[in-house]
């Protein structure tokens, strides 16, 4: 997916969307846009500080970078998160770690689907027997991403009987 999305933002978002964002963890919904069968929500983490993963010194917030991540549908509309990730810089001049981007529990590093989206995709494949190629088209990901998400989700969930959608 492209890192840049040109849209007209709205400051007011519906309660179902607010609930979906809050249920991901420490995220704040900044603004949203609804177009057709897609909702784009700009979010950022609430975390105010971090320590260097290499030396443990306190880090300074240096910048923000957009990361596009898909989540489960909300109100039958595809939810795309435009996550404004912080870029952190180590305060220790001797540390080999210059900068890094923040991570969050709701999505694996360098992945384009949230963990619960992977579980939802796996549910469709394993329980509803939807072909992987069809799921890849519906979720706008490659076949390899869809397949690896299903394999990863098989190990994340012990129960395939619960529903995998938000409202």
Q: What is the pLDDT of residues 4-60, one digit of tens each?
A: 455 566 656 788 898 999 999 889 999 999 888 899 999 999 888 999 999 999 999
Q: Tell me the pLDDT band of 164, cut-offs 50, 70 and 90.
A: very low
**Rounded CA separation 108/114 (Å):** 7
E strands present in 36-101: 38-45, 59-74, 77-90, 99-101
**Rounded CA separation 106/129 (Å):** 25
- For residue 2 the two structure tokens come to 């492209």
Q: Which residue stretches of the chain are H helix?
A: 15-22, 115-126, 132-139, 143-156
- For residue 149 the two structure tokens come to 């998400």
Residue of 73, 81, 128, 124 lying closest to 106 (CA atoms): 81
Q: What is the mean predicted confidence (pLDDT) over 55-74?
A: 95
**Rounded CA separation 75/125 (Å):** 21
Q: Over the chain, what is the mean pLDDT?
A: 87
**Rounded CA separation 88/49 (Å):** 9
pLDDT at 167 exceeding the cut of 70: no
pTM: 0.81
Strands 77-90 and 38-45, by their bridges, are parallel
């Amino acid at each position: 997916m492209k890192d840049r999305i040109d849209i007209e933002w709205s400051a007011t978002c519906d309660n179902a969307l607010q609930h979906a964002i809050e249920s991901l963890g420490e995220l704040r919904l900044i603004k949203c846009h609804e177009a057709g069968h897609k909702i784009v929500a700009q979010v950022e983490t609430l975390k105010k500080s971090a320590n260097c993963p290499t030396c443990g010194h306190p880090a300074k917030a240096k910048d923000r970078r957009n990361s596009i991540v898909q989540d489960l549908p909300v109100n039958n509309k595809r939810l795309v998160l435009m996550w404004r990730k912080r870029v952190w810089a180590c305060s220790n001049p001797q540390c080999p770690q210059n900068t890094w981007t923040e991570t969050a529990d709701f999505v694996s590093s360098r992945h384009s689907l949230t963990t619960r989206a992977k579980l939802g995709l796996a549910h469709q494949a394993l329980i509803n027997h939807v072909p992987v190629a069809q799921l890849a088209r519906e979720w706008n990901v490659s076949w390899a991403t869809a397949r690896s998400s299903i394999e990863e989700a098989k190990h994340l969930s012990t129960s395939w009987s619960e529903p995998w959608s938000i409202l």
